Structure 1
């Protein structure tokens, strides 16, 4: 009985040893598989640093304004007899736009001219008598003063008649016509008859942040983008000498040439003001950057397809590109997509090398 019991214990021990050995073999296989998975290369996209042109610029928005515009009003009172221009017509400075009823002014001028002619004839006769000492100098001088005063009255009557002709104060385009034929123009109420804008040269006002003021210079170029149109160049012509305390911005004016008159006052523009241009800067796609602790870094791929994290210092920045001042060299291969899953010495598989 003891021999049979011992045999059973030995058999059980053998079975247990076999189970433990099998478990160890499975654990070793699992560790090996995990190690194999750890060395799988991470797929990434990359780009090569290159030299190119980049500019320091500031982006904002602006609305076009006419450099010169005028509200045309009448200095005379009367009924509008004729209107000679319509909205959209080009006019020159001094061109006749409308005519008011001027019969009263014409009659008044005729009366004053007749009186002046009578007094002029009398003055001529008195001058001859004065030369012959037939009248005193005092009488002759009083008559001459009357003549001069009447001449001024005639000039005023001519001016009143002239003011019934409504003329353009500036050259431009009639943007609005407010008056109608037969309408009474009242001198005691400020009443615009026409609105004229000069479209040959437009302006765009931008408000630069105070920190951009050190880079802004009169004569710099700006690029204006309008919906559905090719970009238009402009020039920075004026910069305000004071900073607005409320907004912390500086008012700057851009001059926009418009000889073809394709642009209109009131159009909305995206503005890119170019402060400086570097023709041969070291460039990199902006999406390669990783921002940590207020510093910028990238992953650089070496010849063995392993990556290393390098800190870089940036210069000018464009929409999709940045200038690298230090940290990289020309032709370095840098990860631009997939870097979130990387760490130093990680093995990568470069799927695509993008051009930019």
Structure 2
């Protein structure tokens, strides 16, 4: 019994000693870490900026439009008698696309022609009687007016008959049709569309501050989705005023599409060359931090991060041209910039090395 008591006492004292050691050992750690500075300076990457040649190119998004496009509708109502086009095929200017039944108009035309013959004869007789003084000038004028009215009525009916033949206003590719033979159509029903795309129009907008660089007949280059080919285009029209809501200038260019590689309605990624700079300062886009008053970067100086306000120009997919705020040989921090504060301690790893003199 005494042996068991001694055993329990030894075990209890041992557990108590272990708990005491663990508690006081762990409670000293924060004090030690606080004394040693809480983990040291932030580790970041940086580059040394160097003047270099750069083409100051503006990257824009635009849309590709057909050179000409029209919705085909009938000017008159009636039953579709015949369709003369196949969907998705090329048609020529003036080609008949469909015919609307004109049987009633043809009957009206025959009636009007009969009336014209009668009024023509009446006008001839009235003229002879007027020459003999048998009727007054007023009576002749009435007969003459009836004849001219009959002539005008024929011209009106013929114009209506011509409208029953729907023709292509220009050469192009016809779209999908929305009607069938025998259908009743009216001017508000879309028959199909006609697109001329041997040339295409590229419509895009340029920020106001670059508006003065846009010139007629200047070249641009653009790409489209799923293709690496660069297509040339020539600026042929410039909007005469800035759009107030967007503060941009609308511009339109034309590009050759004889091979049919460009589809109207798709987006175009446009490279607009502003100028070439021999000593541009460029930094990675991730180094730029947008702020309320503009943009800033952090440079490394004497072991600390220093905040510098910058003005930027055009950008590529990976770099931005810095117009002011940086000097050659500045060390610009490129990682962790969103969590940095002015004057923070940093430890840098250079991604590029300074040139040896």
State the partner residue of 2:253: 255
Distance 1:313 1:104 in 2: 77
Deviation track 1:64-111 (CA, whole Å, cap 9, x = no partner) reads 334543222223233222212223233344332111122222222122
Q: CA deviation at 1:169?
A: 3.5
Q: CA RMSD in A?
A: 4.5
**Partner Cα separation in structure 2 for residue 338 and residue 135 of structure 1:** 106
Q: How does 1:190-339 map to 2 (within 5 A)?
A: 190-199=188-197, 200-206=199-205, 212-217=207-212, 218-219=214-215, 222-229=220-227, 230-234=229-233, 235=235, 237-238=238-239, 240-244=241-245, 248-250=246-248, 252-260=250-258, 261-274=260-273, 276-284=274-282, 286=284, 295-296=296-297, 316-319=313-316, 320-321=318-319, 322=321, 328=327
Going from structure 1 to structure 2, the CA distance change for 1:347 and 1:70 (only over 3 Å counts) comes to closer
Residue number in structure 2 paired with 1:178 = 178
Contact 2:56-2:276 within 8 A present in 1 as well: yes
Q: 1:277 to 1:143 in 2, by over 3 A?
A: same
- 1:6-21 mapped onto 2 (5 Å cutoff): none
**CA apart distance, 1:164:** 0.9
* C-alpha distance 111-310 of structure 1, shift in aligned 2 (>3 A): closer
SS of equivalent residue, structure 2 residue 175: strand
Flag the 1:278–1:323 CA change in 2: closer, same or farther, 3 A: farther
Asked if structure 2 preserves the Cα contact closer than 8 Å seen for 1:69 and 1:197, the reply is: yes
Q: 1:226–1:270: 8 Å Cα contact kept in structure 2? A: yes
Would you say the 8 A contact 1:70–1:170 is kept in 2? no
| 1:299 positional shift | 7.0
Question: Any conservation in 1 of the 2:298–2:332 contact (CA below 8 Å)?
Answer: no
Check 1:163–1:143 CA distance in 2 against 1; reply closer, same or farther (3 A cut): same
| CA 1:92–1:182: 2 relative to 1, 3 Å | same
Q: Which runs of 5+ in 1 are unaligned?
A: 1-43, 301-308
Higher CA-based Rg: 1
CA distance in 1, matches of 2:55, 2:226: 25
Residues 123 and 144, structure 2, Cα contact 8 Å, conserved in 1: yes
Aligned residues: 294
Q: Is residue 54–residue 323 contact of structure 1 (8 Å, CA) maintained in 2?
A: no
1:145-164 equivalences in 2 (<5 Å): 145-164=145-164
Matched residues in 1 for 2:336 and 2:85: separation?
67
- Give 1:226 deviation, angstroms: 0.7
> Counterpart of 1:228 in 2: which secondary structure?
coil
Structure 2: 5+ residue stretches without partners: 1-44, 338-343
Shift of 1:193: 1.4
